[in-house]
Amino acid sequence: MQVLFNKYRIIYYLLVIAFLCTNCTTPTKKETKPVNKPIVKKQAVRVPKKTLQEIKDSLLATLPKKKLIVKDVINHKNVRSFFLEYGRKNPETKLLLKTRLGNIHITLYKETPLHRASFIYLIKNGYYNKTCFHRIVKDFIIQGGWSEKPIVDTYRIQLNNYKLPPEFRKGVIHKRGALSATRRWVNNPGKKSSPFEFFIMQTSVDCSHLNNEHTVFGQVTKGFHVIDKIANVKLDGNTEWPEVDVDIEFEILK
């Protein structure tokens, strides 16, 4: 009887083991359920608006040194002292302006030392020879100092688009052949000049409304017929730009 009981007990254990084995699986890599993390919205970071000067400075900083056209640093803080010093070292006043339509002789005024020195500086650093007469208003003015060449923008950026304080002088007026500085009329209460562009008066009509508004800093002495030729070129459509560029080349005589 005891033997029979042991036999059945062994069979029972075998059945239990078999049941457990059929319900077991080989251990596999533990599967982890994805955790639904709360979505964290990024807060908008307020970026302070950069000033125009800061933007120019950052652009200048990205230019490789080998591409620097000018080494001088000119800005609103040192523009007066820089050109007074430059003018003492560069006293030239006689210029020859060469174009495909002829040459124009110009004398710069010593009475406007900042504008004279700035003009000489830009000529000696090659700026104006990259430009052309880009705005023609017949029977009024011919305006130069700009072109579509990217290098013109590079010059202006590297020179911080500096402005010149006005140098209005009694008796120095806008007459035929006068060389005058351009300027912005909006947001420019100090009437500061933009030295990169200039205009020459073609008309003989009274233009006294321009006096004490734009700084006259030179006078054409020879080549008035060339001014008239430039003023009469065919324009590109409805623009004031000549259909064929009238390129500028300056030569300093003395």
The CATH number that applies at residue 119 is 2.40.100.10
Is 136 among the domain residues? yes
Burial tier of 249 (Cβ tally within 10 Å: 0-12, 13-18, 19+): middle
More confident residue, 29 or 178: 178
Is 240 among the domain residues? yes
| pLDDT interval class at 254 (50, 70, 90) | confident
Q: Into how many domains does the chain fold? A: 1
Q: Are 223 and 66 contacting, i.e. CB atoms less than 8 angstroms apart?
A: no
Range of the domain at 232: 76-252
Is 209 among the domain residues? yes
Is 201 among the domain residues? yes
Residue 130 has pLDDT above 50, yes or no: yes
| pLDDT interval class at 67 (50, 70, 90) | confident
Residue 53 has pLDDT above 90, yes or no: no
Q: How much is the mean pLDDT over the chain?
A: 83
Is 7 among the domain residues? no
Closest by CA to 216, choosing from 250, 160, 176, is 176
Closest by CA to 235, choosing from 92, 138, 91, 108, is 138
Is 106 among the domain residues? yes
Which residues make beta-bridge pairs with 179?
200, 218
**Whole-prediction pTM:** 0.74
Is 120 among the domain residues? yes
- The least confident of 29-38, 93-102, 125-134 is 29-38
Is 148 among the domain residues? yes
